[in-house]
Amino acid sequence: MNISSAFSSGLAGYQSASTQLSVASDRVANASVTNQNGANEEGGADNVALSENREPISITTELINMKVAELQAKASVNVISTADEMVGTLIDTSV
């Protein structure tokens, strides 16, 4: 495995997680108008709001998206950390 590709994969994953977190948090922050009847499509109470462009936003779904982004970021950090350890091991071995 090419170490630079491991760094690149980790960085790309971290950037993707950062973007996903930003989008989800923006959607929650911009959800300004609560659904008029306060119920979701299945008839149960849910944190459903409408965005500025009147698209329904489920606060619960966006919070789950934020948690997924957090886990993806942690996994990407582990990839970067492992690649860093591999470089350290190779330097120690060759010196």
59-74 pLDDT tens trace: 899 999 999 999 999 9
d(CA 10, CA 30): 30
Region 9-30 average pLDDT: 93
- Please give the residue that has the higher pLDDT: either 89 or 36: 89
pTM, rounded to two decimals: 0.70
2-18 pLDDT tens trace: 667 889 999 999 999 99
Q: How many domains does the chain have?
A: 1
Chain centroid to CA 12: how far?
A: 12
Please give the residue range of the domain that contains residue 46: 3-94
